[in-house]
Structure formats: structure tokens, C-alpha cells
Amino acid sequence: MIIMRSDVGIIEDSCSDECRKGQMMGNGNASTQDRSTYPSVKDLTLEEKASLTSGADAWHLQGVESKGIPGYMITDGPHGLRKARGADQEETSTGETDLGDSVPATCFPPAAGLSSSWNPDIVRRVGVAMGEECIQEKVAVILGPGVNIKRNPLGGRCFEYWSEDPYLAGHEAVGIVEGVQSRGIGTSLKHFAVNNQETDRLRISANVSQRALREIYFPAFEHIVKTAQPWTVMCSYNRINGVHSAQNQWLLTDVLRGEWGFQGIVMSDWGADHDRVASLNAGLNLEMPPSGTDDEIVYAARDGRIRPEQLDRMAQGMIDLVSKARPAMSREGYRYDVAAHHEVAREAARESIVMLKNDDGADGDAILPVKPGASIAVIGEFARTPRYQGGGSSHITPTRMTSFLDALAERGIAADFAPGFTLDLEPADPALEQQAVAAARGADVVLMFLGLPEAAESEGFDRTSLDIPAKQIELLREVAAANPNVAVVLSNGSVVSIAPWAQHAKAILESWLLGQAGGAALADVIFGDVSPSGKLAQTIPLDINDDPSMVNWPGEEGHVDYGEGVFVGYRYYDTYRKAVDYPFGFGMSYARFAISDVQVAKTGANTARVTATVRNTSGVDGAETVQVYVAPGKAAVARPAHELKGFVKVFLKAGEAAQVAIDLDERAFAYWSEKYNDWHVEAGEYGIEVGTSSRDIAATVPVNLDGDGKTLPLTEWSSFGEWEADPFGAQVVAAVERAGEEGTLPKLPDTDMMRMFLKSMPINSMPMLMAADGKQITAFMLDAYARLTQHAHPDA
């Protein structure tokens, strides 16, 4: 995408200097290197090959030191480095996992927040920083990003995933892969695939249609694989349509490698490999952690259950992986810039904050930003003890931690603080509540920090409600009664209910989980140093039961049916015109923007370029995200009302304007056809919607596409309507009509009712409608079609 600034007349692309450095360095793909410079699988014994397909311990690859193959370390991510203390010491590498004791590393905003930045450039910069920290800590592969779809906001791991929309998830998270790998460190794209809940996650079968897989659950993985070639992909725990991901050859080999061209290795999630032989045959290179069953691979290779070339491919992949990491792992004495990385975390956190509401205060001006000299009450334990990351395997020990109270102290701003409640699920403390109300009563503005304590959401379990703990909401009511000038700051890893209490707040900031610099970033926004620019990557519903997946959530008897198909998130809400609290893509700013001059030009039979002008019409600097949605016209299948297919975030000074251009490729207009087992673009008119959320559309411009011309051979089982719609079939139907008029064939039914029945009927059922006449017409149609297609394709 291109941004053209009208004030200076220059064109910028959206790739930063760090991005270009990464492009120049490349992905370090060993397949493009001279393999004579490092060991080959041909140099190994059968036992050594087998050993490479399992880890040495919980955090190390298996090496073969005698053959020059090191056993490098891999560690958890995905929003920073979680390297267990002592994991690089032999005596502590026992395979045990201590989630609470890790070396200090920068805690960047988890995906729940970073996804709301809608800024691939800042995501890429985070990736670069993570890669640099891996070099210092001698970590060859960091496990992330996780790009599973937020199918349901109750999912316990939503904080770690990017969006309900696959386009947004893929086009943001690719920055992590590009950034990390630009530093010669590998990433692990996870969890492939359809890992959308924590309930029974180790064994549940996600039963999902091929179309939903291709349109919703695969595209983020596909885009990142094709664009950035992650060094590794991690398979998920769950089964997909009955088959464990680790043993799914269609998933790991046919699709991932065969269709998408993946060149790296596939590893299991920790404990997801239940059959070493079946998994290796399916395309799994690496079992993690080791189960001590390398002999199973050796025996299977000897008795023919594993083909020699398959074992060689899987083992060579592991050799290639360590060879790619060797330059970075050979750097001695490298130290990353801790302060600079903290600043990147702060910038990322600023852009992650979404302003949902900003009404006028007592003086008639918007309550935010807080005016200089205003007396401030800060209420809520989250302001002192921030919840800045999710719980579970991604839990990081930060290099430093800045709470909002810390940020106030650094700015020299006095405030009356009252914790108001405890960060647990225990009943309210009346003394804390009274203190909070008293603090609020005398302030010009109340900044109230609410949210979900860690006990309410974490890896390992799904939530059962969208509600914030009741004691917090009751305190909000009491505080608002004492002082109506309340701005609420939320801390949560997935959406929470807002409508039940929104009337008690004049401003609402959704800050998600902001990482270690979140307190300073919030102060930057609250005091107006920067304008909020985040946009929702998830719809906020009015009620969890409005979500279409709730009919089958979280499943039963070992399976969960994805009955909503492709209608996930806004694709459902907007198609069926369901009321929501805040729509996908929504987010307010202190600045005001206008989008104009929207134009769409065809660039090919099924491609187009969208251009528009976005102008900052206010006196405040800020950023707007221009979003492009494609709205299909009449379609042969049920399609969402519109789908996000492009976006660009534009930073504009007060009064400045810029022209943006977004290209739409053929895939932007396609749906996955189970009939063709392929992507299909229908001919016809499509609406190109340009706006600032899925429900704030500034302009819609039609474009007519030629379609891809795909057809299937017609048979006696094709309906009469399918014959009419097919280019050759239509000629045959016309011949039948003519022959009927000439009297050489019986006439087709001519009443509307009979033609309605005929249209949906396979032509071999025409005798049911027309007796012997129908049989004669069927025979004529099949014969005429055969002659027509043979003439058109004589070599077929």
C-alpha cells in the first residue's frame, strides 16, 4: 500500500528502515545456501537421524556434536522472550517447566493490544527487538506469533491471538516473523490449526467445513508462510475433523508444504505428538518435549513403516534449521539496548489503546485529554498493580515495569489514589470502596482503572462470562454518583461487557494488556501527548449469546461443531444486521478525519486499485486507519455482507491530507468453492467500501469483474439450472428450446411453476416431470453436450 502526502508531494511505502534491513538480510533460508558448508543427513547414522526428530530436553533441539550439529535453545514467546532461568545449564535442563521464573526480557504488548494498532510497521519493530533479545540469550527460535482466530471472545487464549478477522491477523502478525527473522533468529508460527478454545484443548475435535478452514482459519497462516517463510510452524493440540494435527498429512504436507510452499520445519506443541511414527510420516519434523521414544522411529525405518526418504527429509529439515541459526548463535558478547526496547514497547502500547467513548465533562469540553492543572483522583488497583500480560506459557519477567502511578510520579503530577478493590474474585471490601468514593468526590476528573484480574482469564481455561467482576461495577456506580466526570481505563485480554455500565463513564479507554511500558503509554494518551489511534480487532457484542458460535460453544463429547461456518465475528453481525456495542475496526481519536475522493480502478480481469484522500480536519495531530471492505453481489454461496481486504494507517498533522492507495488482488474477491475445491471469483458487480470501521463506511464504489471462468463438466446429475448457467450448457438448452419449437423434440414445460421445479432438478430426473418426453430430452442434452465440448476441446 502507498501513502502520498499532499503537502510535500512525496510517496512513501509502509516499510520502515528496520523492514528494509530485514529484506536485505533475507530470511536466512538454508535451502538457498551452499549445503556443502554444513552437515548433511547423508553423514548421519539411522539412530542419529531419528534423534534429530525429537528434542534433547524441554527447551533444546537435539544436537549431534560429533557431526557438527549443535543443539540450540528454543523458548516461549510470543510477545517477548520467556527463557526459563537456568534453561541453558545442563543440570537444570530436565524437561520441567517453571512458568514463573524466567530471565528478564522486554514485555511488549500481547497480541490483544498490539492487534489494535493496525500498524504492521510497529509490529515489525517489535519483532526486530525480540530477535535482538534472542541473540543475547542464545535462543535460536522464539515460539510465536500465534495467529488463531478469535472465534469466540470467551476463549482463554484470546489475549495471545490477533483478531476475529484472518486478513488483519495475517497482515499484522507477519511483522513479528519478518522482524525476528531479520536478525537471524527463527520464529514458530502457531498453533496450526483451529486452536480456538482452551476447553478440552488437548484432544477435542474441531469439526469445521473445508470452506471455513480456507476462508477463516487458514488465511493468516497462509499469508505469513507465503510472505515471510517462518523457520518453523507449530501444530496444535486439537484434532481437526477427527485427526490430530500432529498426525494430519493433509494439513502438514499437502496444504502447508504442497500448496503454500512452506520450506521450514514443523514442530509439535508441547505434548501434542501422540504417535511418533504417524506424525513423522505426516510431516512433523520435531516432537517437543522429548518422550524418549527415538527407538520407535528407528524400528519403523527398519521395518518399512517409515520410508528412508521421509526420515531423511524430516532430519534434514532440522539440520537446515540449526544451520540458519548458526550465525546469530555464534555472536559472542552481544547485548541489546534495554532502554531502546522499552521505548519500542511504549510506542507499541500507545498505538494499542482504543478510545471507545469521550463525552463532554462539566466544562463542556471532552473529558479527555485531562487538562493541565486539573485535580485528579485515580481509582482502581490496576493503576498501581497493572495487568500487563496474559497468564500461562507466555508469562514474561519484564526488564522494568511502569504502572500508571509510576508514570504520574515521573511527570510530577499529583493525584489522590484509592485502590477501591482487590485484584481477585473475592467479595468487595467496604473500607476500600468508601475510600475510593471519598477520593472521587473532590476531584475535577476521576480516572478509574477496571478490568479482569488474572484469575479471570488465562491459558488453560475459557471464560464463562464477558462481565467484569461485579464489585468493580458496583464501585463505578458509587463513584459516578459522587462525581460524574469519570474516565474508565480497561485492562483485559479479550472483550468485556461495556453496555451495562457505560452510562456511568464519560470516557472509556480499552487498553487491553499493554506490556511493561503500559503505564507510561496510558499517561501519554490521557494527558494528550499523543492522540489515541487504536482500532478494535474484535467486535464488542452487547451480549455473549449474540455470538453465533455460542450455539456450539465449547462443544460436547469430545468435539465442537463450527456450525457458524464463515460467519465469524463481524461477518455474522454485519451480514445479519445484529446490534453490537462497538463494531469491528472502531476507535476514536482526539483528532477528526474525513475520507473523500474514493475511486476504484480495475487493474486486471479480477483485480483493482482503491484510492482515497484522508484529511485531518482538526487542530490536533493524529492517525486514522483507512479500511477497505469488499462486498460481493449476488453469489452462488452464502457470503458475508463484506470482508476486510485492505487497510493502511496514516499519521497526519493538523490540517494535513494524504492520498492512500490499496491494491486488491484476485483473492480479495474470491470464496473457497467446495464444488471446485479451489478459490473462485464469480463474474459480476462487487461493492468496494472504504471507511473507518465495519459500520462506518465513507463511500461505496462498484466494480465489475470478469470472473475466473471456472466451470465443471456437466453430467446427468447436474441440475437444469446449472445447465442454463454453464457456457456450453446454455447452448444445449437453447438447442432444446429450438427443437421443441420445430417439433423435433418435446417442448419443455412453459408454466412458471413447472419451470421452477425443472430448474432445481437433475436432468436425469426429468422423466419424473415429463415421463418419456423427459427421458428423450435428457438423452439429447447429454449427446449434444458431448459433441459440443469435444469440438471445443478436441485433445481432451
Cite the active site residues.
Answer: 269
Burial of 795 (0-12, 13-18, 19+ CB in 10 A): exposed
Q: How far from chain centre, in Å, is Cα 656?
A: 32
Cell of 137: 540469550
Q: Which element (helix H / strand E) includes 755? A: helix 752-759
Q: How far is CA 145 from the centre of its chain?
A: 9
Q: What distance in Å separates the CA atoms of residue 662 and residue 611, rounded to the nearest whole number?
A: 7
**Sequence-separated contacts (24+) of 744-751 with Cβ below 8 Å:** 745/776, 745/777, 745/780, 746/770, 746/773, 746/774, 746/776, 746/777, 748/777
| Exposed/middle/buried for residue 613 (C-beta within 10 Å: 0-12, 13-18, 19+) | middle
The answer to whether 590 and 531 have CB atoms below 8 angstroms apart is yes
- Name the DSSP letter for residue 215: I
**DSSP summary character for residue 726:** S
Residue 206, phi then psi, degrees to nearest 5:
-85, 105
C-alpha span between 235 and 284 (Å, rounded) = 8
User: What span, in angstroms and rounded, lies between the C-alpha atoms of 643 and 165?
Assistant: 9
- CA angle at residue 448 from 447 to 453, to 5 degrees? 145
| β-bridge mates for residue 703, sequence order | 686
Q: What is the dihedral of CA 518, 522, 523, 529, to 10 degrees?
A: 120
Assign 134 to helix, strand or coil. Answer: helix
Task: Report CA torsion sign: 613, 616, 622, 627.
Answer: negative
Q: Which of 649, 512, 659, 672 is nearest to 589 (CA)?
A: 649
Task: Go through 562-575 and write b for each residue having 16 or more CB atoms within 10 A of its CB, e for each that does not.
Answer: bebbbbbbbbbbbb
End-to-end CA distance of the chain: 43
CB contact set of 363 (below 8 Å; sequence gap of 6+) = none
3-state secondary structure of 451: strand
Other CB atoms within 10 Å distance of the CB of residue 719: 16
Q: Identify the bridge partners of residue 13 per DSSP, sorted by sequence position.
A: 2
3-state secondary structure of 398: strand
C-alpha cell at 391: 497468564
169 sits in which H/E element: helix 166-181
Helix (H, G, I), strand (E, B) or coil at 237: coil
Q: What torsion do the CA atoms of 715, 720, 725, 730 make, to the nearest 10 degrees?
A: 80
Are residues 479 and 485 in contact, defined by beta-carbon separation less than 8 angstroms?
no
Q: How many CB atoms lie within 10 A of CB 597?
A: 12
Hey, what's the cell of 156?
A: 482463554
CA 344 to each of CA 18, 114, 127, 172, 413: distance values in angstroms, whole numbers, following the listed order:
12, 12, 10, 16, 24
Map residue 600 onto helix, strand or coil.
strand
Helix (H) or strand (E) holding 629: strand 622-632
Tell me the C-alpha distance between 355 and 369, whole Å: 11
Pairwise CA distance, residues 20 & 549, whole Å? 41
Distance CA 232, CA 185 (A): 11
Q: Which residues contact 643 (CB under 8 A, 6 or more apart)?
A: 165, 167, 571, 629, 630
